[in-house]
Every structure is written in structure tokens, then in C-alpha cells.
Structure 1
Amino acid sequence: MAGEPQADCLFCKIVAGEIPATIVRETDTTLAFRDINPQAPTHVLVIPRVHYPDAASLAAGDPGAAADVLREAGKVASQEQVNESGYRIIFNSGPGAGQTVFHAHAHVLGGQDLRRLVA
């Protein structure tokens, strides 16, 4: 069921503390941690603690959690000191877009000139 932890979900396991991650921020509704395969000097994932398979289902099922993810993405950018130089917030939805973990998540990328990095 959407919103409930999924036993086979990598990010649900990170939220539960079953799999380690380098956490940079956390709130009651979100968790932010470093990507294990960074595409930029700053590459942090911001996830809702509730399970939804993608950004659209998160926004439809729990708009407050979707807003929390975006708010925290901005706070991550500030904490990582990329907010003034520029950063991207990317949601990949579906395998054709490069989504490999089907738990909604935002990529916060920064720390370099991103104009040549294809999103």
C-alpha cells in the first residue's frame, strides 16, 4: 500500500536504519543522504519517510510530504553551500528516466557548472 514501508525497498530500509547511509539532514518526514554514485561534487538524495513509488504518486497521495521533500532540498543546498552558485533538484520517474529505486526521491546536485550536465 502506498505510504507504507515496503520490505523490498532500499530506501525504506535506509529510513528504518537497516542499511547505512551518510545522512546529512533529517526531519520527522524526510531523510537526506549522500548518493553512493555522485554525479556532481554535491549529490544528495532527499526522500520522504513514507513510501510512494515516484514523485507524482507522492504529490497525489501526500502533498504535505512532497512539499517537505522540496523544502528540505532547498535546505540541503544551503547547508552544502551550493545555493548561491546554483543547484538542481531532479526527480526521475520511471525506468526510462533513469529511476532505479522506486521510492520517490529528489536529487540535489551542485558544486560545479551544471549547464553541461544533462538531467
Structure 2
Amino acid sequence: VTKPYRLRELIARIRAVLRRSGSEPANDVIMSIGEFRIDTIRRSVVRDGVELELSRKEFDLLALFASRLGQVVTRDECLDEIWWGRDLADTRTLDTHVKRLRQKLEADPSNPIHLLTIRGVGFRLDP
């Protein structure tokens, strides 16, 4: 972290490093969630045998949601984890990335069944 730094950014980076340094079981490298296979080493997502093309941020968001499957991930947690706590005055950045991810994951993005928005809180990935 370069100086000067914001305390919120420092805390977010420390939390991210601690999460990454935790001992993850080897079987968490490839996660199977419904029709999706997420390979965190190759950074690839396959749905029904077809590899999806995701941007780096889209993949990071999906990996975050998949690591907390069925649980709500708050908007602040997304910003802290994926954007390292940067103060994004316009959180539409997050909304835009989630929208693009949803378009790639869902058969009908206007009626999602996997990547859900929990109004006023955040997002939840369901199998």
C-alpha cells in the first residue's frame, strides 16, 4: 500500500490477504454449483460444457459469491474485496459488473434464478 493511504483501504487489503492465506481445501479449487463449474486456478467458468468468457472483475465477483453460496454478500463486502475498499462514489460500477455477470450466467437475465439482488443489502448466488 502506497502512502498516503486510507484506513478503509488498508483494512480491506489486510482482510483480503487474511482470507487468501487461510488454508483452503484442495477440492475448493474447482467448485460445482448447479450447472456451473468454477475453476479458481485456471479462472474459468463452464456451464453445461461451454466455457463462459468473463472479465477479471466478473470472475472475481463470481468467485466471491460462490465462496458464500446461498448467503448474502453485501455491497460493501463486494467493494472491499473486489475493489480493495476504494471509495467508489458511484456504486453503479458494481451494479454494472453484476449486470454483465448476470447476462452471462442466466438463461433469462431479467428473471434471474442464480444471481439474485437482495434489495438494499447486496447479492446472493443460489445453485
Question: What is the TM-score normalised by the length of structure 2?
Answer: 0.41
Higher RCO (C-alpha 8 Å, min separation 6): 1
Question: What is the TM-score normalised by the length of structure 1?
Answer: 0.43
Q: Which has the larger radius of gyration?
A: 2
Higher helix share: 2
